[in-house]
């Protein structure tokens, strides 16, 4: 059952927030959806899933990215889930990069996190089924995200190429098994056996990707991003793309940082990129 929290007219369409009790995370979850003008059961539209980064909720992208006008023109719905389970019963840490707000889009295997921190299952299976059931969308899906959400989008697309037409990311964490953010999160959520971490690492997954399952991929990265060298590891993905011949477009932008100023500057290009495959 969905509980409609808000509905706001924007760019001729509607931005709506919903909450529901999740079977994956065993707690209430919130997501937002933008429905472009004319979306109806007789005029279903494709959908872009957006995954946000550390400390974010469904609201960051929807309020700051400036995506609605182009999405309305292209006839694309956008769905933005929260970044983690939340609530008094959900284990948390006094840290911005772990716990609530930092689910890392994995299925946790370690107590006490394994009951609630199942964001991979939520994003890949539960949420799309809910969207398909309740909203006028087609079976065409793309996935994108920022930072931790960029990690989620690329990783999920690589593991489930049959589910998506295309994938993209802004400033993604592409090699989490080799950066402090990822090592902290994975050690707590997944345990000390690092062989279990690789299934959630874009660079590792690219090594395993079957050429017949390659998805169109676009990545935009700011060169003035203060997380670029230590956390994001974009250079490692450059190497993997070249080694594997993966169809990924990686764009570096001088002067841009890690913020939504960067995302809002290039979000139209990402929507146009996805539209060419969603409408195919």
* pLDDT for residue 123 is more than 90: yes
| pLDDT tens profile 55-99 | 999 999 999 999 999 999 999 999 999 999 999 999 999 899 999
Integer CA distances (angstroms), 129 to 134, 135, 137, 144, 179, in order:
9, 10, 11, 18, 33
Q: What is the pTM of this model?
A: 0.97
Catalytic member of 15, 146, 188, 258: 258
Report the mean per-residue pLDDT for the chain: 97
pLDDT in tens, 93-118: 989 999 999 999 999 999 999 999 99
Residue in 52, 144, 147, 166 annotated catalytic: 147
State the pLDDT at residue 82: 98
Tokens (6 digits) for 107 = 């299925």
Domains and CATH numbers, the chain: 3-278 (3.40.50.1820)
Selected catalytic residue, list 58, 82, 201, 225:
225
Catalytic status, residue 188 = no
For the record, the structure tokens of 59 come out as 């609201």
Give the tens place of pLDDT for each residue, 174-214.
999 999 999 999 999 999 999 999 999 999 999 998 888 89
Looking at residue 210, its pLDDT comes to 87
20 is catalytic: no
Structure tokens at 115: 């009951």
Distances (CA, A) of 176 to 104, 199, 214, 230: 10, 11, 21, 10
How far apart CA 151 and CA 159 sit, in angstroms, is: 12
Span 208-266, pLDDT tens digits: 988 888 999 999 999 999 999 999 999 999 999 999 999 999 999 999 999 999 999 99
Q: Examine the residue annotation and report whether 225 is marked as an active-site residue of this protein.
A: yes
């Amino acid at each position: 059952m969905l509980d409609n929290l808000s509905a706001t007219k924007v760019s001729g369409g509607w931005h709506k927030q919903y909450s529901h009790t999740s079977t994956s995370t065993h707690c209430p979850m919130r997501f937002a959806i933008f429905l472009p003008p004319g979306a109806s059961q007789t005029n279903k539209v494709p959908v872009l899933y957006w995954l946000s980064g550390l400390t974010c909720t469904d609201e960051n992208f929807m309020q700051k990215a400036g995506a609605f006008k182009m999405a309305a023109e292209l006839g694309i719905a956008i769905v933005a889930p929260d970044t983690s389970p939340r609530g008094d019963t959900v284990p948390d840490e006094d840290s911005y990069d772990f716990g609530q707000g930092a689910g890392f889009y994995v299925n946790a295997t370690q107590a006490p996190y394994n009951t609630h921190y199942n964001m991979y299952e939520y994003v890949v299976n539960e949420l799309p089924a809910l969207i398909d059931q309740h909203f006028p969308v087609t079976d065409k899906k793309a996935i994108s995200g920022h930072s931790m959400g960029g990690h989620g989008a690329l990783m999920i697309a690589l593991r489930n190429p049959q589910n998506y037409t295309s994938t993209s990311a802004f400033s993604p964490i592409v090699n989490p098994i080799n950066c402090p953010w990822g090592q902290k999160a994975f050690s707590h959520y997944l345990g000390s056996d690092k062989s279990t971490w690789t299934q959630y690492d874009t660079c590792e997954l690219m090594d395993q990707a079957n050429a017949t399952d390659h998805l169109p991929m676009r990545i935009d990265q700011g060169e003035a991003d203060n997380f670029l060298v230590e956390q994001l590891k974009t250079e490692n993905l450059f190497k993997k793309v070249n080694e594997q011949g993966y169809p990924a477009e990686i764009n570096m932008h001088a002067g841009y940082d890690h913020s939504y100023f960067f995302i809002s500057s290039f979000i139209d290009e990402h929507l146009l990129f996805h539209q060419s495959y969603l409408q195919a």
